[in-house]
Amino acid sequence: DGGITQSPKYLFRKEGQNVTLSCEQNLNHDAMYWYRQDPGQGLRLIYYSQIVNDFQKGDIAEGYSVSREKKESFPLTVTSAQKNPTAFYLCASSIGTGPYEQYFGPGTRLTVT
């Protein structure tokens, strides 16, 4: 089955700890994205990657980092510098960057206390 997987589904961390969220896709898509969703808010772009070993900051990249060492994988690290990390994190992919459809993984709900 082709698709996007994210793990874990739920994640709980103490303030001050870094945490890494996993995103894997087997759709052979070149582009991958990380979004954050807060209650009552639209999706906001954190980072995106057009190809392996390349990534660009989105609108709210501060306090986050990413890597793209493999086409299939685009992990997101939420660092202790992110002031309000509790949110629903969504990974998406598309054939390329451009006017293409983006498909979402199931999401990771992160709670930091």
Partner 1 sequence: QKEVEQNSGPLSVPEGAIASLNCTYSDRGSQSFFWYRQYSGKSPELIMSIYSNGDKEDGRFTAQLNKASQYVSLLIRDSQPSDSATYLCAAGTNSNSGYALNFGKGTSLLVTP
Q: State how far the Cα of 29 lies from the Cα of 95, in Å rounded to an integer.
A: 4
Q: Which of 22, 50, 77, 79 binds partner 1 (CB under 8 A)?
A: 50
Interaction between residue 15 and partner 1 (CB under 8 A): no
Helices (H) and strands (E) in the chain, counts: 0, 11
Q: Which residue has 């997101």 as its token pair?
A: 76
Least distance from partner 1 to the Cβ atom of residue 64, Å: 16
- Strand segments, DSSP code E, in the chain are 4-7, 10-13, 19-25, 31-37, 44-49, 56-57, 64-66, 76-78, 87-94, 103-104, 108-112
Least distance from partner 1 to the Cβ atom of residue 105, Å: 6
Q: Which of 28, 57, 69, 70 binds partner 1 (CB under 8 A)?
A: 57
Size of the site for partner 1 (CB under 8 A): 24
Interaction between residue 105 and partner 1 (CB under 8 A): yes
Cβ proximity to partner 1: between 15 and 53 the closer is: 53
How far is it between the farthest Cα atoms of the chain? 39
Q: Which residues bind partner 1 (CB under 8 A)?
A: 35, 40-45, 48, 50, 56-58, 90, 97-107
